[in-house]
Amino acid sequence: MNPRNHEESIEHIFDSYCKRCLKREAINIHKHLKWRGGREIAFSAMSVTELASLAVEDKYFVDEYVFSVHGESIGVTDSELAEALTALPADRREIVLMSYFFDMTDKEIAQRLNMARRTVAYKRTSTLKELKKIMESEE
């Protein structure tokens, strides 16, 4: 066998291998693009409600009212709620904040404030009624 023919044969084999690889890669890319096309949607094709559900609003400069409860801070961004909370007596405000912002039970609040559980429950419910009156009068 002639060395030149052998080299040509190897070149043809390599050439054929490269063409098969490129053809297979083109098929894979086409399949992937088809797969992505079925799962992706353009922003222009989305409805306003779908776009709104994807949006995130930065609240860097929103007024935040900070209340301190036993060394921990609670930020309230709703100005009406914050004003109503400031109108409450401090002990009752703490009970409401612990209950709704720290998700504490009446028993846990009573232990922390050294009160009876029933007293905490009474103060919480009466304070909520008072908060409702305050917020309704502001409207």
pLDDT of residue 110: 93
In the predicted structure, residue 89 carries a pLDDT above the cut 60: yes
Q: What is the mean pLDDT of residues 12-30?
A: 96
Instruction: Give the model confidence (pLDDT) of 22-65 as tens digits.
Output: 999 999 999 999 999 888 888 888 888 888 888 887 777 677 88
Q: Give the chain's mean pLDDT.
A: 88
For the domain covering 79-138, report its CATH number: 1.10.10.10
Structure tokens that stand for 124 in this block = 């919480």
pLDDT of residue 57: 78
The upper half-sphere exposure of residue 14, i.e. CA atoms within 13 Å in the direction of its Cβ, equals 6
Q: What is the rounded CA–CA span in Å between residue 129 and residue 54?
A: 37
Distance of alpha carbon 117 from the chain centroid: 34
Q: What is the rounded CA–CA span in Å between residue 65 and residue 86?
A: 10
Instruction: Specify whether the backbone of 28 is left (phi greater than 0), alpha (psi in -120 to 50) or beta.
Output: alpha
Q: Domains of the chain: which residue ranges? A: 3-54, 79-138
